[in-house]
Chains A and B, each alone.
Chain A
Amino acid sequence: MNIGKSVIIKGDLSGSEDLTIEGQVEGKIELRQNILTIGTNAKIKAQVFAKTVIVQGEVQGNVTATERVDIRDKGSVDGDLSAPRIAIADGAHFRGSIDMQKAGAKPADAARPAEAPRPAEAGKPVAAGSPTPVAAVR
Chain B
Amino acid sequence: MPALFKWGGRKDASASVRPSPVAETPETLSTSKVLPRLLAALATVPSPVLMDLGPVVGGNIAFFGEQLACKIFVEDLFAEVERQAQAGTREGLGDVLLGRLDRPKGSLDGVLCWDLFDFLDKPTGQAIATRLVSLLRPGGVIYGFFGQASTELTQYTRFMVEGPNTMRLRTGPATPTKRSVILSRDLNRMFDGLAVAESVLLKNSSRETLFRKPF
Using a CB–CB distance below 8 Å, which chain A residues touch chain B? Answer: 85-101, 105, 107-113, 115, 118
- Would you call B73 and A112 a contact (CB within 8 A)? no
- Would you call B74 and A113 a contact (CB within 8 A)? no
Stretch at the interface among B42-50, B147-155, B183-191: B42-50
How far, in Å, is B21 (CB) from chain A's closest CB? 5
Please name all residues of chain A whose beta carbon is closer than 8 Å to the beta carbon of B22 when the two chains form the complex: 90-91
Asked whether any CB of chain A lies closer than 8 Å to the CB of B67, the reply is: yes
**Contacts A90-B22, A113-B43 given; does A95 touch B66 at CB 8 Å:** no
How far, in Å, is B135 (CB) from chain A's closest CB? 14
- Would you call A100 and B65 a contact (CB within 8 A)? yes
- Would you call A88 and B56 a contact (CB within 8 A)? yes
Considering the chains assembled together, what is the distance between the CA atoms of A110 and B47 in angstroms?
A: 16
Considering the chains assembled together, what is the distance between the CA atoms of A95 and B63 in angstroms?
A: 18
Determine the residue in chain B with the shortest Cβ distance to A118: B46
Q: B-side binding surface: helix, strand, loop or mixed? A: mixed
Asked whether any CB of chain A lies closer than 8 Å to the CB of B71, the reply is: yes
Asked whether any CB of chain A lies closer than 8 Å to the CB of B26, the reply is: no
Asked whether any CB of chain A lies closer than 8 Å to the CB of B17, the reply is: no
- Would you call B76 and A95 a contact (CB within 8 A)? yes
Determine the residue in chain B with the shortest Cβ distance to A100: B65
Please name all residues of chain A whose beta carbon is closer than 8 Å to the beta carbon of B63 when the two chains form the complex: 111
Using a CB–CB distance below 8 Å, which chain B residues touch chain A? Answer: 20-22, 36, 39-40, 43-44, 46-47, 56-58, 61-63, 65-69, 71-76, 163-164
**Contacts A88-B56, A96-B74 given; does A105 touch B43 at CB 8 Å:** no
Considering the chains assembled together, what is the distance between the CA atoms of A31 and B25 in angstroms?
A: 40
Please name all residues of chain A whose beta carbon is closer than 8 Å to the beta carbon of B21 when the two chains form the complex: 91
Q: Which of B36, B63, B73, B74 has the most CB of A within 10 A?
A: B74
- Would you call B56 and A92 a contact (CB within 8 A)? yes
Considering the chains assembled together, what is the distance between the CA atoms of A109 and B68 in angstroms?
A: 7
Please name all residues of chain B whose beta carbon is closer than 8 Å to the beta carbon of A98 when the two chains form the complex: 61, 65, 71-74
Query: Contacting A111 at CB < 8 Å: which of B39, B56, B75, B76?
Result: B39
Considering the chains assembled together, what is the distance between the CA atoms of A96 and B186 in angstroms?
A: 32
Considering the chains assembled together, what is the distance between the CA atoms of A55 and B30 in angstroms?
A: 32
Top 8 A-B pairs, shortest CB-CB distance: A107-B69, A111-B67, A88-B58, A100-B65, A94-B56, A98-B72, A112-B43, A99-B71
How far, in Å, is B115 (CB) from chain A's closest CB? 19
Please name all residues of chain B whose beta carbon is closer than 8 Å to the beta carbon of A90 when the two chains form the complex: 22, 58
Determine the residue in chain B with the shortest Cβ distance to A106: B69
Please name all residues of chain A whose beta carbon is closer than 8 Å to the beta carbon of B71 when the two chains form the complex: 97-99, 101
Query: Contacting B44 at CB < 8 Å: which of A94, A110, A115?
Result: A115
- Would you call A112 and B61 a contact (CB within 8 A)? no
Please name all residues of chain A whose beta carbon is closer than 8 Å to the beta carbon of B62 when the two chains form the complex: 86-87
Please name all residues of chain B whose beta carbon is closer than 8 Å to the beta carbon of A89 when the two chains form the complex: 58
- Would you call A113 and B40 a contact (CB within 8 A)? yes
Query: Contacting B39 at CB < 8 Å: which of A87, A94, A112?
Result: A112
Considering the chains assembled together, what is the distance between the CA atoms of A85 and B74 in angstroms?
A: 17
How far, in Å, is A85 (CB) from chain B's closest CB? 8
How far, in Å, is B72 (CB) from chain A's closest CB? 4
- Would you call A100 and B66 a contact (CB within 8 A)? yes
Please name all residues of chain B whose beta carbon is closer than 8 Å to the beta carbon of A115 when the two chains form the complex: 43-44
Please name all residues of chain A whose beta carbon is closer than 8 Å to the beta carbon of B76 when the two chains form the complex: 95
